[in-house]
Each structure stands twice: as structure tokens, then as C-alpha cells.
A and B are shown apart, each in its own frame.
Chain A
Amino acid sequence: MSFFNPTSAPVIMPGGLVAWENLFTAAELDAVERYGDSLTQERAELQAKASGRDSIRITRVAWFPRNPQTESFYARMEEVVLRINAQFFRYDLSGVVTFQYAFYDGTEGGHFDWHKDYGRDYGAPDQEPRKLSLSVQLSDGANYQGCNLEVRGGNETDIAPRSRGAVVAFPSYVLHRVTPITSGVRKSLVVWAVGPEFK
């Protein structure tokens, strides 16, 4: 039973990225952002194994737990995942895992180099692999420079819309990156849907 009646529709971009804008009200986004900001942020910095000192990722992240305060947003995102999956991907999915609040800061050179999300997490071997990756844009694109989410699913690279509240979705085996932020701050929420391995 759906309680969610969006006035906009998702579109598919030339490289295959699915984008859905105007899904949330400003008040809903404010609430998510306020909750995210209250969480402890740890610096996510993955060192490249092979190539010395430059990092592949500089982001502040926090886990965004499912609890009474976040439940309505989780439920909403589950509907978004189901609708996008039904229309574009038709994967077997089991559910969403804990969301990740991500914070790119212009004073830190925040970025995340090319990578994929698909596969089992070595730290959680009993969890099914991530199959669908989504990002919810919480900042307005005018509030920061750089920091584009680029997705290369086909033979063209798609740049995710920068409008506040925009949701994008792509298969987790697709290569993607966040380009360096040169000023301002970009906040986003990363959502993964998991399920049995691709067959």
C-alpha cells in the first residue's frame, strides 16, 4: 500500500543513469540533513594499495541508522527503490542496508576516485552483495564547486543532477566517482539495495 505520490517521474540519462528529481519537500530534506549532521562523522580515507600517498577517497561519513526518528525516510526510500527497480532494472532485491551520510568538504579536497560497489563486503560476509546504488543529493548544487557524481555505465559518462533532493540510481557493478570539491560543502545520502548475486 503506497503512501507516496510523487509529482515527478524518473528519467534515464544517455549513459544509463536513472535520475529522479523533485521527490522530496525542502522540509523533509532539512530533517534528513539535520539528523545527519548530528551523527558523529568519521573521516573515510581509503589509501590506494598500489600507488603511494594520494588517497582514493576523502569524505566524512556517518552511518544513518534505521530508528523511529529515521523510519519514515527509510520507508520512503524503500518505495523509491522499488519503483525505480520495477521500471528500469528488475533485479531480485532483498532490501536496503544501513544508509551512509557522506560529507565532502571543499577545505579538505573531498573526492572519491573511480570505483564500483558490487560484491560482498569482506567485513560482513553474511550480508548479500550490493546490487543497486543510489545517492540522494542533500545540498544545492549552487553551494559548492566541483564534486560531481559521475557514472560510467555505458559508453558515455553521466553527471548526476545537482538539484537538491535529486535521487540517482545505477547498478552497483557500474564504475563511478565523485570529482574533487574545490569550494563549499556537499552532503549526500548513499543507499544500497542488496540481494542474491547476479546470475
Chain B
Amino acid sequence: MSQGNGQYGSTLPFAAWGGAFTPAELDRIEAYGDGLTTAKATVAGDAPQGKEDDASRISRTAWIARNAETDWFYVRMERIARTLNDQLWQFSISGFSELFQYTIYNGQEQAYFDWHVDQGFVEVPRKLSFSLQLSHGSQYEGCDLQFHAGRLVETAPRERGVVIAFPSYVLHRVTPITSGTRKSVVIWITGPKFK
């Protein structure tokens, strides 16, 4: 496990964990995600009725339901999430109250997602956010997941299979993709509001 280059000790802007999945497991997740209908991503709460807003986000997403075929993936991610939380943040967390989100950024659409936070002041109690990189970093150009937690913008690793974790209040973005395709799974852990 490697950690983000944070300056706050217990409040690292992000952490990265490689090697949590075998290539065969990643292939399985990718095949399952590709089999889902990918609707154009919405902003404004990611709700089905959310308005499309190309000014801040262009990507395609689909929800990965928890079922017999995907249960192993949910179990694995929960273990990863709890381990990272125990080591780094010690937040009070409840579990996955939202489905995993399969996300595709396509070079032909110049997809991106501008600076945002996953949790505002008084909204859904998302505590930690995770991104599982399914594509090799060499398969696309641009499309970096970046964090703005201090003066400098930091870039997440691009290796296939790496899990990137961060507190949901950290400002982050995905830069425009200029060629190729980047696939990832986005996951949120919820819990009681900060006290």
C-alpha cells in the first residue's frame, strides 16, 4: 500500500492501494460493466432525474447492482474500504448505501468531470470516496484523477487495478480525455454526519 503525498498526517488528501484485484478479477468487473447499458452521466446528486450539465461533466455511467454475480466485488471493496479507513481516517462509517458506479470516459467525447466535492456541507452523508482504475494508464491520454487539497494539485496513479481513496469533502476532478477510453468504478461509503 502506498499513501498520498499529504501534508496533514491524519488527514491525507488521498491514498492509493494497488494489487487488491487480480487481472482476471478486473477483467470480470470490466466485462460486467460493459454489459450494462451506459446512460449519459448526470450531475446534481447523480439521481436518475438529475439534470445533464455538460458544462461540468461529460462521462457515461451505469449502476452496478449488488447481486449473485457482483457480491464478491462488494465484499472485497468493503474490506478494502474498512482497512483504509481504520488505518488513515477512522471515520464513523455505515456501509454502501449507494450502488457502485461504472464510469466510462471516452476520448471521442473529450469526456471530463470538472472540480467538485462528493459531499457538501449538509448533503448526503458520503464520508469516503473510492475509484478503482480498470483501464491501463497507457490506454488513454489525459483523464487524470486529480486532487486539490492544498496549494498543489496532486495526480492519482494510473495503474490498472489501483484503488484510490479520499475523504468525500476533498475537491477533485477528472481532466479531459484526449484519446482512448478510461473505465473505472466509483464507490462511496456513507456514515453519520461529521460531529
Contact = CB atoms under 8 A, between A and B. Distances in A.
Q: Report, as a range, how many residues of chain A touch the other chain.
A: 20 to 34
A198 B89 CA distance: 9
Q: Which of A48, A114, A122, A198 has the most CB of B within 10 A?
A: A198
Contacts of B21: none
Nearest to A131: B194
Nearest to B56: A155
Contacts of B150: 114-116
Interface residues of B, number: 27
Contacts of A90: 193, 195
B115 interface: yes
A133 B35 CA distance: 47
Contacts of A199: 90-92, 192, 194-195
A146 interface: no
Contacts of A153: 117, 120-121
A155 B114 CA distance: 9
Nearest to B152: A50
A103 B56 CA distance: 37
B121 A119 contact: no
A10 interface: no
Interface in A87-144: 88-92, 113-116, 118-120, 122, 129
A2 interface: no
B11 interface: yes
Contacts of A173: 11, 167, 169
Contact of B171 (A88, A129, A175): A175
A60 interface: no
A197 interface: yes
B82 interface: no
Contacts of B92: 199
A171 interface: yes
B138 interface: no
Contacts of B117: 153-155
A51 B120 CA distance: 31
Interface string A172-194: 01110000000000000000000
A62 interface: no
Contacts of B193: 90
What's the dominant secondary structure at chain A's contact region? loop
A171 B194 CA distance: 10
A76 interface: no
Given A118-B8, A119-B11, A173-B169, A16 B151 contact: no
A16 B120 contact: yes
- Pairs A-B, 3 closest by C-beta atoms: A119-B8, A16-B121, A154-B120
A56 interface: yes
Contacts of A114: 148, 150-151
A155 B150 CA distance: 16
Q: Which of B90, B121, B192 has the most CB of A within 10 A?
A: B121
B91 A198 contact: yes
B9 interface: yes
B195 A56 contact: no
B90 A88 contact: no
B101 to A, nearest CB: 18
Contact of B116 (A48, A51, A155, A175): A155
A88 B122 CA distance: 9
A4 B101 CA distance: 50
B67 interface: no
B194 A122 contact: no
Interface in A46-101: 48-51, 56, 88-92
B88 to A, nearest CB: 12
A51 B152 contact: yes
